[in-house]
Amino acid sequence: MKHRGTVLSLIAGALLFVAAANAQTYKMLYTYPNTDVNDSGITWPSVLSQGQDGDLYSTIQTNGTTNYGTVYKMTTGGAYSAIYTFCTEAAPCTLTGGYPTGGVTLGFDGNLWGTTSGGGKDGAGTVFKITRAGALTKVYDFTNGKDDSAPNYPPLQGQDGNMYGVSEEQYNGQYGSFFKLTTKGAMSPHPFDYTNGASPNLPAQGNDGNFYGTAQLGGDATCRCGVVYKATAGGTITVLHKFTGYVSSTVYDGYRPLGILVQDSDGNFYGTTYQGGKFNYGTVFKITPAGTYTLLYSFGSVTGDGLLPIAALTVGTDGNLYGTASKGGKAGYGALYEITTAGKEKLLYSFCVVACTDGFVPTTPMVLHTNGIFYGNTAGNSLGGSVFYSLKTGLKPFVKLVTWSAKVGGTVEILGQGFTSATGVTFDGVAAKFDNISDTYMTAVVPAGAKTGVVTVKTFTSTMTGDRTFLVVPQITSFTPTSGKVGTLVTITGISLTQTTAVTIGGKAAAFTVKSDTEVTATVPAGAKTGAAISITTAGATASFGKFVVVPEITRFSPPSGPVGTSVTITGNSFTGTTKVTFGGVAATSHEVISDTQVDALVPAGAATGTIAVTTAGGTGTSAGKFTVTH
């Protein structure tokens, strides 16, 4: 071991020299040992997640004393330590699960959340949470045929506090599922049906609260090349795009997306496909939340290009995207690259140029640490194991928002460094109370008057901004009046209303005026219907409150007079759902709603000269003039 360590030190020194000579920023930090003859220690697509302590956490599927896998910690300097070994109770790993795949994600509780692809009560895998000290709690056991099983990714915590994830295996004709799991272990699975995808990858939560992801297969019956999907928190799955592969010279948008989508600051999502594209070596693409797809780049476009990307992209704080290609590069063993949102690619590093000791076949996504440096893993190297590496690109330290959507008064969790010298936290310029719990973890309370925008943490020596826009969720506390006809001015009271972009009353868009951060006025629009909540949309989210009652209104009627049996056209507003029409207090036995602004009715027997009234669920509207009944 001493001899091997000396060799590794010499190799590392040589690599650093080469890196400096070629203006490279790659650094090999740790070599994982080979765990068995079939596995080099790192199993794709394992996610590295930054913990509250600033260290990185992930899983290895088959290492540890039992060969059923571990959860491990890695410092940014490359110091490795296993914090938990699975299946210490022996196979079939009922109590703990076995073979953890996909890595772990950080939860709001400070724990790391992950999944195992085997073990559990039904041998179908588990969901677990684990403390940084290694205390594991099994949260859920997957069950074959009921909720699918063998998940390949950890769950992620939505901003509503629930965990969301996917399972991939195909049991009883199912093709994987998207699920919501409460932190107490209540599961709500929503299966894919192949037409909307099969073998789904973990989605990313968008700014709108929905989840956007890719499925490796399914979709178009001809190509079956995979899809981009959207899933609501309630489990409604919608296909946004079906990949077409490389079936012709003009249609080659991608085949088999293996990586997770990421949302950039422009609000669009970006991803990769493993194959397809112009040269069948994979693609980088952009897709809007509405489903507008753009092919940005086809790998293989230049000599020495990266090829066959497996892992997800990573968003840099400069707005560019960073990724790994499992093959290609100058030596053919993989590469690291940067690409702009316009599709301009730049090769950053080629693996295996010097004896392959630096690693090869990078199959896991890079993580951007709050220190501004990327970290990642390869699937192997010439020494028989995998490599943990860093990539420095000149990005500055920043703060990562674990919580990026909350109401005024909500607590926000923030990762970073140098927090012991923190002097202030602001939300789009508004000062907030904060608690610098450690040098790498702090919380802050969303202050009154905060707007959707940038979170900034100041220390004695630096100013660091958040990695994404913080969304301040608006609140409606009351509105007055609670009922009225079209044209009524409604005063809406609440919190965080300054950035209002839309108001709806009765399900229709209303003209509005922002009076202050706590008050908006709006006019009841034509077509508004009784029973719908009043909603306000801001740059941060949409808030709804109560039910507004829309009172029908009669503006005129024609003819103004006539005998019993006369057909009268009544014009006004909010007539949809009319239940009764009266002439001088006598109900018409025949009426028809022509539109929201017109009702036709026959003058009933026994009617006397008087006002006309129209009744809906919102109340009764009465004409200003009288209808004259003639004989």
For the stretch 536-546, pLDDT in tens is 999 999 999 99
Q: What is the pLDDT of residues 126-155, one digit of tens each?
A: 999 999 999 999 999 998 767 666 788 999
Q: What is the mean pLDDT of the chain?
A: 91
Sorted by sequence, the CB contacts under 8 Å of residue 75 that are 6+ apart come out as 55, 56
Provide CB contacts within 8 A for 308, sequence distance 6+. 274, 275, 281, 282, 299, 325, 326, 327, 328
- Tally of CB atoms within 10 A around 247: 15
Q: Residue 37 above 50 pLDDT?
A: no
Which whole-number Å values give the CA distances from 472 to 232, 406, 408, 539, in the listed order? 20, 6, 7, 8
Phi and psi dihedrals of 430, rounded to 5? Answer: -95, 125
- pLDDT greater than 80 at residue 51: yes
Of 86, 199, 93, give the one whose Cα is nearest residue 141. 93
Tell me the percentage of the chain whose pLDDT exceeds 70: 91
Q: Is the omega angle on the peptide bond into residue 559 within 30 degrees of 0, that is, cis?
A: yes
How confident is the model at residue 32, as a pLDDT?
A: 86
> What's the whole-model pTM score?
0.89
| pLDDT tens digits, 396-409 | 999 999 999 999 99
CB-based burial, 534-573: b 16+ in 10 Å, e otherwise: bbbbbbbbebebeebbbbbbbeebeeeebeeebebebbbb
Please give the structure tokens belonging to residue 434. 């904060």
Distance set, CA 398 to CA 402, 445, 499, 522 (Å): 13, 19, 26, 40
d(CA 583, CA 580): 10
Scored b (16 or more CB within 10 A) or e, 249-288 reads eeebbbbbbbbbbbbbeeebbbbbbbbbbbbbbbbbbbbe
φ, ψ dihedrals at 508, nearest 5°:
-125, 150
**CA geometry: angle at 17 spanning 13 and 19, to 5°?**
115
Distance of alpha carbon 186 from alpha carbon 182, whole angstroms: 5
Q: Which domains does the chain have, with CATH numbers?
A: 32-191 (2.130.10.10), 400-466 (2.60.40.10), 474-550 (2.60.40.10), 553-629 (2.60.40.10)
Tally Cβ neighbours within 10 Å of residue 384: 13
d(CA 268, CA 292): 10
Q: What confidence score (pLDDT) does residue 172 get?
A: 55
Largest CA distance in the chain: 117
